[in-house]
Chains A and B, each alone.
Chain A
Amino acid sequence: MLNNLKILFHQGKQYIPDITRAQVPGIFRGRPVISNEPVDENELMDLCPTNAILSGPLAIDLGKCIFCGECAFAFPGKIKFTTDYKIATNERRQLIIPEGQGQPIELNPMLIRKEIHQYFGGSLKLRQVSAGGDNSCELELNACSNVNFDMGRFGIDFVASPRHADGIVITGPITKNMALPLQICYDAIPQPKIIILAGTDAISGGIFEGGPAIDRSFLSKYIIDLYVPGNPIHPLTFINGVLDLIKKRH
């Protein structure tokens, strides 16, 4: 008993007090900023492994970007990744960052269904389904609930049964072999319910986009309530995105 207290004491406070303003340590590849510097666009687009760099105007699609950072190394005057981890949004096109734009990424309040705040503003229970996820986003989603990030303090938890859940968090590009279990799980969640795509693989398929073992037809049937880019997602990106989705709108 005394030993346990000693350990507790030595641990001190581990939680991040203000999750909306926390700084990430070291370098982190969050929201990119693209300058107007002229470059060889073809060369730039060609180096990207997932065709995340678009032309006319030049832009990076964070729904496809796997945050390898290679474009920024090759064209340091053109592309810089900032440590801004608040890159989740409910509008797919907001994930496309054009050159010369430095605004933060936000949720579009017009697109948030009104029942989301009404029902889930104080408590949101989520069922996670990994559908070909490589266990990196899964590790980070678990980390959201550890003593550092402590997402539970906001009433946001992951639950075991879809019947207890208010929504589904999908990771991975959605394999053919998981398409049916995913559908069954979604169907088992009572209405109203939300869908969150966590990680680049879930948002676009990432490096697996168009691959032979992938079946993304599930996604075309429903409205997506939140896109959380990352490879893997950072816990702070996820928690802030979800908070922005469910908090009271002014």
Chain B
Amino acid sequence: MNYISVRNNQTIPLSSIPEMDYPAFFELNVFTLLKSNTSHCVNYFGSPQPGQIRLTCCIGDDDLGLIHLSSCVVTAQQVLPSFSKHHLAYEKFERELHENFGIAYADHPWLKPVRFPFNAFDKNSSIAGYPFFKIDSEELHEVGVGPIHAGIIEPGHFRFICNGEQILHLEIQLGYQHRGIEALFVEKKKLLQRITLAESISGDAVAGHTVAFVNLWESLCGFQADKHLQWSRTLALELERIAICTGGLSGMCTDVAYQLGSAVFGRLRTPIINFFQTWCGNRLAKGLIRAGKTNFPFTPALKAGLNNVLNDFEKDFEEICEELFSLSSALARFEKTGVITQQLATTLGTVGMCARMSGVSRDIRSSHPHDLYWAFDHQPIIKHHGDVYSRAQIRKEEIRKSIRYIRKLLEEIPAERNDRSSLSSPGAGSFTISLVEGWRGEICHCAITGDNGELIYYKIKDPSFHNWLALAMAVRNNEISDFPISNKSFDLSYCGHDL
């Protein structure tokens, strides 16, 4: 076999990932491994070697719960046939390889910059010079929005080509938030610095990215997390899902001018994030998750508090949901707006909520479970219309399900351990991949260690990396006034994308 199959968070020797020539690598990852739509690319990246680039492709196999890894060494000068020509889901990954290493692709459909990183291959590229798609026409006009938007929101530029009020084309230019996080993971040597970086990848997905990092790190160090740690991480992920999805519903109500919904969902988020503060001193769970330990063991008093929070939340949540989901003026704005069909979702390789809204069953909690997700036998929540309404429904149902899971977790709290061994250093020449289903979707972190066990390469993929193109496609033929509600309902991360 010319690939190696690993489980989520399994550490293997780097040398055990089969290396092959580009045609074989191409054949494997474009045709052989992607035959069924229960497989998709979870990460594809290049790591620098002296004078060369080592490409590693990671295909998640949902049926087997495995990740198939293969690799290929190329040089920057080589002109390669692109994967994207056959599978659009690779388009952003190949653009990144092009931007970071100068790899030329002969037949890539859209070989444009991704984020204008500080270490771009082309030293002359600058974010002010992004090559936007243009149409020469007397009838059409362009609308440029951003990078700074109207509300308190991260920066990114949206360029619309419109026919009157109708959007024909949207191009999304990102990179404004680029902080060089992946390079800093290698540069900063203290574990606490790396955890701090993980907590800063996307401040609305602190639990998601930090769990991805600590699971990966513990695996690299040969540390098996005990039940209490796994339990806390699972709880944090589900609380974060409730909090941010509730905030998302509030934002969606705002964007259709439904003030009551906006206010009620908005304030319902407060007790959930305040519970994070009660637990760990921070409303967004920064400081809560640590590798090899926890500073905030869960206590019976916290259990009682959380039960009360959920009971109060549920009553008010159900009441406002009943109102919103039967309010014709809101539904008229939600239904058939910003549609991604199942076929398009598969082509684009969307993940998380953005896949499940279009009938694509993709959820790491069920396909590649980690921490305590084994216990839930999680069934993904699937909708079929791929519109704003589906995205609203998924949020509502995810919240309900998370409440159920949390109640189940609270039935039995594994005892905190005081006999934990301390973390050793990572093994030498190793590779680990970690997948987490954050509230937005699939988060993927990969790490490579060198001959002395030092971290030499770190790769992060936020689910938004897959999904931004879906937003651009979803708004085609919509009225431009529907763009805000589409955008909010996707709720993608700028900093998670730009890193």
A187-219 Cβ-contact flags toward B at 8 Å (1 or 0): 000000000000001000011100111100000
Tell me if A26 and B286 are in contact (CB < 8 A): no
Beta-carbon contacts under 8 Å, B224-273 to A: 247, 260, 263-264, 266-267, 270
- A: residues with CB less than 8 A from B are 3-4, 6-8, 10-11, 14, 24-29, 47-50, 66-70, 73, 81, 128-143, 146-148, 158, 160, 172-173, 175-178, 180-181, 185, 201, 206-208, 211-214, 231-232, 234
B138-181 Cβ-contact flags toward A at 8 Å (1 or 0): 00000000011011111100000000000000000001111110
Tell me if A158 and B151 are in contact (CB < 8 A): yes
> Complex Cα distance A138/B493, Å?
12
The closest CB in chain B to the CB of A81 belongs to: B281
Tell me if A208 and B283 are in contact (CB < 8 A): no
Point out the residues of chain B lying under 8 angstroms from A29, CB to CB. Answer: 281-282, 287
Tell me if B178 and A69 are in contact (CB < 8 A): no
Contact with A135, one of B176, B203, B277, B319 (Cβ below 8 angstroms): B203
Point out the residues of chain B lying under 8 angstroms from A212, CB to CB. Answer: 118-119, 180, 183
For this complex, into which size category does the number of interface residues on chain B fall? 35 or more
Point out the residues of chain A lying under 8 angstroms from B200, CB to CB. Answer: 134, 201, 206-208
The closest CB in chain A to the CB of B247 belongs to: A139
> Complex Cα distance A70/B115, Å?
33
Tell me if A173 and B286 are in contact (CB < 8 A): no
Tell me if A7 and B295 are in contact (CB < 8 A): no
The closest CB in chain B to the CB of A70 belongs to: B192
* B427–chain A nearest beta-carbon distance, Å: 24
CB pairs A–B below 8 angstroms (9 shown): A49-B192, A67-B281, A135-B203, A142-B151, A146-B267, A147-B263, A147-B267, A185-B148, A213-B180
Tell me if A178 and B281 are in contact (CB < 8 A): no
Tell me if B267 and A232 are in contact (CB < 8 A): no
Point out the residues of chain B lying under 8 angstroms from A50, CB to CB. Answer: 193, 196
Beta-carbon contacts under 8 Å, B460-499 to A: 493-495, 498
Point out the residues of chain B lying under 8 angstroms from A177, CB to CB. Answer: 115-116, 127, 175-178, 498
> Complex Cα distance A70/B291, Å?
13
Tell me if A69 and B295 are in contact (CB < 8 A): yes
Beta-carbon contacts under 8 Å, B103-127 to A: 115-119, 127
Closest 4 CB pairs of A and B: A136-B203, A26-B278, A213-B180, A134-B203
> Complex Cα distance A4/B148, Å?
35
Tell me if B177 and A175 are in contact (CB < 8 A): yes
> Complex Cα distance A130/B202, Å?
13
B196-218 Cβ-contact flags toward A at 8 Å (1 or 0): 11001111101000000000000
Assess whether B439 is interfacial by the CB under 8 Å rule: no
Assess whether B128 is interfacial by the CB under 8 Å rule: yes
A27-B278, A129-B148, A132-B495 known; A213-B118 Cβ under 8 A: yes
Point out the residues of chain B lying under 8 angstroms from A47, CB to CB. Answer: 190, 192
Tell me if A67 and B177 are in contact (CB < 8 A): no
A134-B201, A138-B152, A176-B118 known; A208-B179 Cβ under 8 A: yes
Point out the residues of chain B lying under 8 angstroms from A3, CB to CB. Answer: 322-323
Tell me if B180 and A135 are in contact (CB < 8 A): no
Assess whether B184 is interfacial by the CB under 8 Å rule: yes
> Complex Cα distance A48/B188, Å?
12
Tell me if A175 and B203 are in contact (CB < 8 A): no
Assess whether B320 is interfacial by the CB under 8 Å rule: yes
Point out the residues of chain A lying under 8 angstroms from B197, CB to CB. Answer: 207
The closest CB in chain B to the CB of A143 belongs to: B270
| A-B contacts besides A214-B179, A234-B283, 6 pairs, CB < 8 Å | A11-B267, A129-B148, A134-B202, A138-B154, A143-B270, A176-B178
